[in-house]
C-alpha cells in the first residue's frame, strides 16, 4: 500500500470526534494486510492497515497496490540456511536461482516458507542449477522452461502469470569454469534472445529476475579493467545484454532507480572481496517499460550473508484496476 492523497495522520486530525468513533467501530470489522507504512505512524501493523481500508471506503484517501519482488541466487546447499529469511519476507514474489535440488530433496518448509508457496523448475542433472518462485498469491498459470531442450534440461527458466503480469525467475549459465562452459553460455544466449523478443511482443507486463551472470557496464563491477577478458564481462556478453535493453526495449530497473557506483550483488569468496566490496552487479530485474515505470525503490540486502550473492529487492506500485 502507498498513500496517494493526504497523509493518514492529517486525515485523522481533521475528523470530528463522532466520525473518529464511527471509524474505530468499523475497524474491528475490517480485514488487515501487510504494509510497511505502519512504522512512520507508530501504529501496530493491523491497526494501520485497517485504518487505511476504512478511510479508503469513506473516500478520504486513495491508495495504490504495491508489489515487492525479490531475486536471490541461493547457491545450492544454502537454501536451508535462507529458510528463515524467506519466511520473514514481505515480498509478493521471491525469485531464487541455483537450487541444486530435486523435488524429493525439498522439505515442506522449503516448498512453502511462511505464507509463500513455492514453484520450481529443476535441472535433470542432480545437484545442479534449478530455479524457483515463491508466491503469496496463487498464479493463474506456471510455465517451466522456454521450449528449447538445451535450456530447459538445466532448469533455468520459470514463469508465473498473474493476470496481465508475468514474473520470471531466470538463471543464465556461468562460463567462468572454462571454454566448454563459456560455449554453453553463448548457446544459451543465442536461444534466449528470441525468447525475450517474443516475450516483449506479447503485450503483457513482464518482469525477469535472476542471475544473468553478466555485468553490463564498467560501473557494474569494481575491477572492470582487469576483467575485460573474463567471463561475465566479455565484449560479446555485454553487447548481447545491450541488445536486450536497446533493441528489444526491456529495462534494467535497478539502474533506472539507482545510478550510483559500487552497487554489487555478487562477491568472490576469495580474499576480502565481501569486506572490501570488490563485487559485480550480475543480478537483475529486467522489465517491460510500463512495469519499470512503476518501480519505486530498490535495495540490496547485505545484513545477512547466505551465499556469495545478495538479494535484490524492488518495490513496484501499480494503481488498482
pLDDT along the chain (321 residues), means of 10: 43 54 46 40 51 45 52 50 64 89 85 88 92 93 92 95 95 95 96 96 96 98 97 98 98 97 96 95 97 94 87 80 36
Tell me, yes or no, whether 178 and 72 share the same domain. Answer: yes
Tell me, yes or no, whether 41 and 107 share the same domain. Answer: no
Task: Look at residue 22 in the predicted model and tell me its pLDDT.
Answer: 55
Tell me, yes or no, whether 194 and 305 share the same domain. Answer: yes
Tell me, yes or no, whether 116 and 239 share the same domain. Answer: yes
Give the active site residue among 211, 252, 283, 315: 211
Tell me, yes or no, if 211 is annotated catalytic.
Answer: yes
Task: Look at residue 108 in the predicted model and tell me its pLDDT.
Answer: 85
Tell me, yes or no, whether 177 and 285 share the same domain. Answer: yes
pTM for this model (two decimals): 0.77
**Termini Cα distance of the chain:** 14
The DSSP bridge pattern shows strands 93-97 and 131-135 to be antiparallel
Backbone angles phi, psi at 212, to 5 degrees: -90, -10
CATH (domain of 82): 3.60.10.10
Task: Look at residue 255 in the predicted model and tell me its pLDDT.
Answer: 97
Last residue of a domain, one of 17, 32, 61: 61
Share of the chain above pLDDT 90, in %: 57
Last residue of a domain, one of 61, 81, 100: 61
Tell me, yes or no, whether 97 and 231 share the same domain. Answer: yes
Tell me, yes or no, whether 177 and 45 share the same domain. Answer: no
Evaluate the CA torsion angle 12, 16, 21, 26 in order and state its sign: negative
Task: Look at residue 109 in the predicted model and tell me its pLDDT.
Answer: 78
Number of structural domains (the chain) is: 2
Tell me, yes or no, whether 56 and 82 share the same domain. Answer: no
Task: Look at residue 71 in the predicted model and tell me its pLDDT.
Answer: 63
Tell me, yes or no, whether 108 and 206 share the same domain. Answer: yes
Tell me, yes or no, whether 180 and 71 share the same domain. Answer: yes
| Domain limits for position 20 | 2-61
Tell me, yes or no, whether 121 and 181 share the same domain. Answer: yes
d(CA 178, CA 86) in angstroms, rounded, equals 33
Tell me, yes or no, whether 169 and 273 share the same domain. Answer: yes
Amino acid at each position: 500500500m502507498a498513500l496517494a492523497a493526504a497523509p493518514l495522520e492529517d486525515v485523522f486530525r481533521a475528523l470530528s470526534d463522532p466520525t473518529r468513533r464511527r471509524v474505530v467501530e468499523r475497524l474491528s470489522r475490517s480485514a488487515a494486510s501487510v504494509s510497511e507504512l505502519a512504522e512512520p505512524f507508530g501504529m501496530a501493523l493491523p491497526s494501520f492497515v485497517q485504518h487505511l481500508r476504512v478511510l479508503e471506503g469513506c473516500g478520504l484517501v486513495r491508495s495504490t497496490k504495491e508489489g515487492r519482488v525479490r531475486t536471490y541466487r541461493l547457491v545450492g546447499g544454502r537454501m536451508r540456511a535462507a529458510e528463515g529469511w524467506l519466511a520473514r519476507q514481505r515480498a509478493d514474489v521471491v525469485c531464487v536461482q541455483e537450487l541444486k535440488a530435486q523435488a524429493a530433496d525439498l522439505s515442506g518448509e522449503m516448498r512453502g516458507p511462511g505464507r509463500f508457496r513455492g514453484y520450481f523448475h529443476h535441472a535433470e542433472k542432480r545437484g545442479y542449477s534449478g530455479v524457483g518462485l515463491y508466491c503469496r498469491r496463487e498464479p493463474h498459470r506456471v510455465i517451466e522452461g522456454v521450449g528449447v531442450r538445451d535450456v530447459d534440461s538445466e532448469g533455468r527458466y520459470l514463469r508465473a502469470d498473474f493476470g496481465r503480469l508475468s514474473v520470471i525467475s531466470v538463471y543464465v549459465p556461468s562460463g567462468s569454469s572454462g571454454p566448454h562452459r563459456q560455449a554453453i553460455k553463448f548457446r544459451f544466449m543465442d536461444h534466449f534472445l528470441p525468447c525475450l523478443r517474443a516475450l516483449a511482443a506479447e503485450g503483457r507486463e513482464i518482469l525477469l529476475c535472476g542471475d544473468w551472470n553478466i555485468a553490463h557496464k564498467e560501473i557494474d563491477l569494481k575491477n572492470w579493467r582487469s576483467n575485460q577478458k573474463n567471463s561475465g564481462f566479455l565484449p560479446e556478453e555485454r553487447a548481447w545484454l545491450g541488445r536486450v535493453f536497446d533493441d528489444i526495449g526491456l529495462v534494467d530497473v535497478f539502474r533506472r532507480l539507482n545510478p550510483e557506483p559500487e552497487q554489487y550483488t555478487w562477491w568472490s569468496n576469495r580474499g576480502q572481496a565481501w569486506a572490501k566490496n570488490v563485487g559485480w552487479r550480475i543480478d537483475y530485474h529486467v522489465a517491460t517499460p510500463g512495469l519499470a515505470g512503476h518501480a519505486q525503490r530498490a535495495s540490496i540486502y547485505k545484513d545477512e550473508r547466505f551465499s556469495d550473492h545478495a538479494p535484490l529487492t524492488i518495490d513496484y506500485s501499480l494503481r488498482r484496476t
